[in-house]
Amino acid sequence: MEVILQNLTKKFPGRDRRKKKDIIAVSDFSFRIPDGKLIGLLGPSGCGKSTTLNLISGLVKPTAGRIFFGEDDVTDLPPEHRGIGLVFQNYALYPHLTVMQNILFPLQNLKGRDRLTKAEMAEKAREAAGLVQIEELLDRKPGELSGGQQQRVAIARALVKRPKVLLLDEPLSNLDARLRLQTREEIRRIQRETGITTIFVTHDQEEAMSISDMIVVMKEGIVQQIGRPQEVYDNPANLFVARFLGTPPVNVFDGKIRDGRLYIGAEAVLEGLEVFADPMPEEVCVAVRPEGFRLRENGVLSCELSGVEVMGRDISVVSRNKFSLNPQIRSIISTENQPDFESHVVRFDLIPRKVFVFRRDTEER
Ligand code: ADP
């Protein structure tokens, strides 16, 4: 099922009513979510992810804009008539019911032509349980299950009515690191097997990148970029997106563009930079992925070391860069060969596709 968001906006009244300043939780969000794909809604806490999901589910009414499921305008439909499955962070299972009864629950209040016999209900519940591989747990109560198992039950319950759209709100946040990894792969497998259009909310960029067909990066209610994870990682639209994706994060420098050359400090670090979509001002901001530094004896960029920490693959270099705005920056670089810790100055080349140049944005600093 294709899901179309059309100029979707949600304002909440601000806390201080006298000031009458609304909180714009979601601002003019338009996106055609392709059928059968897994979309990751990504951004820091408070950026409007859950509100977007709740608008799609119908739990929250939009201030403006419309939502279509395929051809159908569902904007004014209540959640129970939208054909959605919902999964939350806290599983929200009924503790006094068995796993089987929990999964059966959404089937029990179907009306009219949708009504099912007991046998049909049981078959559908078993099928959903099979999909998330919890058949052997059907007689247990939620309290007797691990967090990961509880979340599988919640997913089975969301799937039992074969929803047109599956909505997951931070479904992995209550799980420990190992289970989180396992369950996210599980979600990916189930999504592929069922082909249900799925929208997955998370603040964890690695999580979103690893399972999504496409990610939507949001900040303060505003969509910053939409694209395939690798595409967004390789071509971030702005400094916020560049910073938000990737661990360790990008290193940010002040730079200058002059005659098609990019300078960091007095040193020209890249040549042939005339290929910007928009004309760039002379003063720019340069973001370099950690893997964008290549240690080289005659490298164009010098860096005076004041401390080095080796962290497995990565090396954290605390530098005293005279060219940096901040005299004590911490650059995290991944290098194949380790710097010579004895010498105080090391030299790097920059790998052009790992370097992003943006307008200076004071807000981001
Ligand atoms: P996220 O899911 O990205 O953490 P939310 O969608 O929950 O963000 O919230 C977006 C913004 O809207 C936040 O500023 C939040 O405080 C505000 N907000 C969310 N729900 C309500 C509500 N029911 N009433 C007032 N403000 C809300």
Lowest-confidence pick of 26-40, 114-128, 153-167, 272-286: 272-286
- Concatenating the DSSP letter of every residue in 237-291 gives SSHHHHHHSSSSPPEEEEEEEETTEEEETTEEEE------SSPPPSEEEEEE-GG
Model confidence pLDDT, tens digit, residues 200-256? 999 999 999 999 999 999 999 999 999 999 999 999 999 999 999 988 788 888 888
State how beta strands 38-42 and 197-202 pair.
parallel
The model's pLDDT over 22-32, given as tens digits with 9 standing for 90+, comes to 899 999 999 99
Q: If you take atom 12 of ligand 1, which residue's CA is the nearest one?
A: 25
Residue 242: other Cβ atoms inside 10 A: 24
Residue closest via CA to ligand 1's atom 27 equals 12
**pLDDT tops 70 at residue 317:** no
- Could you identify the atom of ligand 1 that is nearest to the CA of residue 44? 3
Q: What is the pLDDT of residue 328?
A: 39
What confidence score (pLDDT) does residue 332 get?
59
Average pLDDT rounded to a whole number, residues 262-275: 74
The CA distances from residue 67 to 16, 35, 53, in Å, are: 30, 15, 11
Residues in CB range of 227: below 8 A, 6 or more apart: 214, 215, 235
Q: Which residue has the higher pLDDT, 133 or 316?
A: 133
Q: Summarize the confidence of residues 35-41 as an average pLDDT.
A: 98
List, in order of start, the domains of the chain with CATH numbers: 3-241 (3.40.50.300), 247-364 (no CATH)
Helix (H) or strand (E) holding 146: none
Amino acid at 323: F
Distance from C-alpha of 15 to C-alpha of 19, rounded to nearest angstrom: 9
The 10s digit of each residue's pLDDT in 143-197 is 999 988 999 999 999 999 999 999 999 999 988 888 899 999 999 999 999 999 9
Residues in a beta bridge with 26: 10
Q: Which atom of ligand 1 is nearest to the CA of 169?
A: 2
Closest ligand 1 atom to Cα of 50? 2
Sequence letter at residue 173 = S
Angle at 255 between CA 249 and CA 259, to 5 degrees: 135
Average pLDDT over residues 75-87: 95
**Model pTM?**
0.90
Contacts of 215 (CB under 8 A, 6+ apart): 39, 40, 41, 42, 208, 209, 226, 227, 228, 229, 232
Task: Tell the residue number behind the tokens 């209610």, with chain if given.
Answer: 221
- Over residues 298-321, the mean pLDDT reads 69
Least confident of 21-25, 37-41, 112-116: 112-116
Q: How far is ligand 1, taken at its centre, from the CA of residue 91, in Å?
A: 20
Task: Give which of 207, 135, 196 is closest to 172, Cα–Cα.
Answer: 207
Q: Provide CB contacts within 8 A for 50, sequence distance 6+.
A: 169, 170, 201
Confidence of residue 282 (pLDDT cuts 50, 70, 90): confident
Identify the pLDDT of residue 326: 38
**Best mutation site among 8, 9, 10, 12 for ligand 1 pocket (most ligand atoms within 8 Å of CB):** 12
Measured in angstroms, how far is the CA atom of residue 48 from the centroid of ligand 1?
6
How far apart (Å, rounded) are the C-alpha atoms in residues 76 and 62? 9
Q: Whose CA is nearest to atom 6 of ligand 1?
A: 48
Residue 302: CA atoms inside 13 Å, Cβ hemisphere, count?
9
Pocket of ligand 1 (CB under 6 A): 12, 23, 25, 43, 45-51
What's the pLDDT score for residue 322?
Answer: 47
**pLDDT at residue 318 tops 70:** no
How high does pLDDT run on average in the chain? 86
- For residue 202, the CA-to-ligand 1 centroid distance in Å is 14
